[in-house]
Structure 1
Amino acid sequence: MAPGSHLALSHATGGFDPETWERVVEVHRKGGTPAQVRSRAEFTAFFTGLELVDPGTELAARRHPELGEQRSESEQIPMYVGVARAV
């Protein structure tokens, strides 16, 4: 990546309901579509060598909570998001 450019990524996580996400991934794979869920640490590894923009990798609904209503832990969107800058 060119210095100063940014990378924005999002990725589903199975961390809140592993059994359900295991079944979802299996259904996709049986249908011929590769699927993968990742933990926060696994997702954050995609930004290795880049400078994470605050607040780093975070759940989607918590990335900028001032832009929407707060969700309880049980209502979280099972997706991590992050933005990083190439240095």
Structure 2
Amino acid sequence: MNIAELKLGIIAQIIATDDTALLNKIQGIINDFESNSLVNEPALTYERIRVFSDEEQRKINLAVQQYENGECISDEDAQKEIQEWLED
């Protein structure tokens, strides 16, 4: 989850709540954070980078190669096949 998704999720939760105590706590946290900031620059944020294992990378490379060789079906066709299997 990136920072934009996190912000949107928090905003959605705030909008959805009618809990005054919770909203007051959130406001207090924000006020405390703003008053404790020593500079007016945004804090640095670090996002985690996913490093694949050798086996995972091998499977990804194989899947890409299969896709490039046309050895795949569309999601629509796959859904049709699944539906046919379920009907049998």
* TM-score category (smaller protein): under 0.3
* Structure with the larger RCO, 1 or 2 (CA within 8 Å, 6+ apart): 1
Q: Which of the pair is proportionally richer in helix? A: 2
Q: Name the one with the larger strand percent.
A: 1
Q: When the two structures are superposed, what TM-score results if normalisation uses the length of structure 1?
A: 0.25
Q: TM-score, normalised by structure 2?
A: 0.25
